[in-house]
Amino acid sequence: MKRIITFISLLLFLSWGASAQTLSTTTFSTGNGNLPDVGDNFAIPVNVTDIGFMFTLTIYIDYDPEVLEYTDFQNGSVSGITVTNPASNILKVLVGNFPDSTEIPDGKLVDLMFDFIGGDSDFDFRTTSSTTYKSKILETDYSTFFFTDSDVTNGGVFGGEVDNTITGGDWNTATNWSQGVVPNSWHNVTIGAPVSRAVVTTSADATADDVVIENGGEFTLSNTLTVDNNFTIESGGSYIENGTLTVGGTKSAERYIEAATWTAPLDGWHLLSSPVASQSISGSFVPASGGDYDFYRWNEPTQTWENQKNPAHSFTNFVKGKGYLVAYQDSDTKVFTGSFNKSNENRAITDQGSGSSAGFNLLGNPFPSAIEYGDWGDNAAIAKVWNEATAGYIDVAAGGIIPAMNGFMVESEAASGSVTIPASARAHNATAWYKSGEERILLIAKDMDNGILEQQSVIKFNENASQGYDPEFDGRFLWGYAPGFYSYADETMMSTNNMPWSSDLVIPFRFETNGSTSFMIELAETLEGQDVYLRDLKTETVVKISESGTYTFTSEQGDDPARFELLFNTVGIEDNLALDAALVFSNDDQITVANVKGETQMAVLNLQGQALYETEFNSQGYTIINIDLPTGIYLVRLYNNGEAKTSKVIVK
């Protein structure tokens, strides 16, 4: 029996060579100048010395599979090399042609090929300090030889943090990333705004070091995302969380708020809401020093705005699902921190006040993405979003978009009602929130003196609606700072008015000045192929606004509000948009000619009748002409279709 055992031992190892066996590899780093690019496939060599003849040689190597992805081996110095993964972070290199012996030459034994994902990874040979695996060079009946720490030279790949950007598509698809690889925990991820809109989604669990969703970037998480440091939604970014977000640092959502002109009471107001629970108002939202601010909540039963600065109205935290009215003297990016809301939000609403704003409640989008408005309980059919640019409310019907971190007004249909803002309403900003995909008539009254103030009014046709006010379809008018412009029925002021279609319809509109004098009504959206007429009852003018697109007029305090009618059939009424309705006025170095169509000649004269300037233009209803005139009073004479009209203008 002893002879058989001795024979097998001799087959395993004929000799163990010299006593100075060594293993070595290479360190890849920027300092060495040999660092591969992220996404490259590259070789890590395994070098040996003084191994000599043997039957088998086994080498175990530790590495980080998140940083290095093993693909293959090449350039073996001898035959009979195999490489396996006994564990995800271990490579096993086996050399030998048992029962034949192999002489292993000094130098490179083999190149191990890896894809570099990015980051830092050691590349360590296991030695006798390992209790899991033993790297043995040779073995006989009498003794076993192992590599010791002094026998090996370990290496590694040290690339540090990596910037990686995606603008759309599946997070887990390498070709969607700027680096050509799916991120690992060393990657600083940017979800950028796409050239053409494309949401970033996940199809498997994911990791990153930092994540930033830029303005315009859209991200839906359906799996688990582990972020070692910070997760930031920049102002204008959008995030929907259907999975699990684990963040080692800070979760934050930013909202840029432009400064108000502090001496202009109408300027710079914003409706704001929090996408996180228990966000403190102090700190980012209440400047400790520097510019002034205002921070209001709305009290529906008392119909009052309550200022946070007033000790009588002390409130220190945002309430989920509530909106707030804010203005800041200095532009700033406000920051919400904490876990993002991703569940349904229940809010009480009331109709207990009196006056034109009775029943309107200021709610807030509780999510870090837009939401689609809908039937959420006791809310009326139309919500209202404040348009910061035009200082007026815009109506949002069912399916319309309410932006992230935005407050909005809803009308309660019950004295003490409630709504549930559902997580299922979350949406990315695929449609501009102020637009509608429905067929409708949209009229916009513009303050020409102020230049930015606008009020919208919507007409829709619905066979299920009545000629009067229908809470399930219509939206009541809510005053802002723009001129008052609204349709009305049953003495109800409406900014959205649904009714059955009839070509004989006459829809009354009221107009109330906001203190300015010059105004324009623009037909921004209309019914395809349908003639639409606007009648000005004050000037006894009828214009086909579906052709001209605009109608310009003046208004003063004390004018009868019941001024306009919208018509679709003008039998017996002529469109007199030639020169009868022409309106001429000046603004700095410009002369505006409104309500004129077609080829028109214009002459500017002094009061002595001398022509100072002449021009021709083809007007579609509204023309601005730049002209340099000294301060004074001038006559503007228009010639159109064989008619003439002279107007007086004052240049200041």
Give the integer Cα–Cα distance in Å for 531 and 4: 108
Q: What is the pLDDT of residue 433?
A: 38
If we measure between CA atoms, which residue out of 123, 185, 177, 190 comes closest to residue 160?
185
Cβ proximity of 209 and 187 under 8 Å: yes
Give the integer Cα–Cα distance in Å for 338 and 334: 14
Q: What is the pLDDT of residue 217?
A: 95
Q: What is the pLDDT of residue 142?
A: 30
Q: What is the pLDDT of residue 17?
A: 41
Split the chain (652 residues) into runs of 10 and give each run's mean pLDDT: 28 43 93 96 95 84 96 95 94 85 91 98 73 36 54 94 96 96 98 84 98 96 98 96 98 94 87 95 78 92 92 90 95 94 97 91 97 96 91 91 95 96 90 53 92 91 89 92 91 92 89 92 92 90 88 91 89 58 78 83 85 86 84 86 80 80
**330-370 tens-digit pLDDT:** 999 999 999 999 999 999 999 998 888 999 999 999 999 99
Q: What is the pLDDT of residue 578?
A: 57
Q: What is the pLDDT of residue 391?
A: 87
If we measure between CA atoms, which residue out of 202, 192, 241 comes closest to residue 343?
241
Q: With b meaning 16 or more CB within 10 Å and e meaning fewer, what string describes 202-235?
A: beeebbbbbbbbbebbbbbbeeebebbbbbbbbb
Residue with tokens 């637009």: 435
Q: What is the pLDDT of residue 438?
A: 62
Task: DSSP for 4-60, please give it.
Answer: HHHHHHHHH-S----S--EEE--EEETTTT-PPPTT-EEEEEEEEES-EEESEEEEE
Give the integer Cα–Cα distance in Å for 572 and 445: 27
Q: What is the pLDDT of residue 573?
A: 57
Q: Given the DSSP bridges, would you call strands 533-536 and 454-461 parallel, antiparallel or unpaired?
A: unpaired
Torsion of CA 348, 354, 359, 362, to 10 degrees: -70
Amino acid at 426: R
Q: What is the pLDDT of residue 7?
A: 28
**424-434 tens-digit pLDDT:** 999 997 544 34
Cβ proximity of 581 and 593 under 8 Å: no
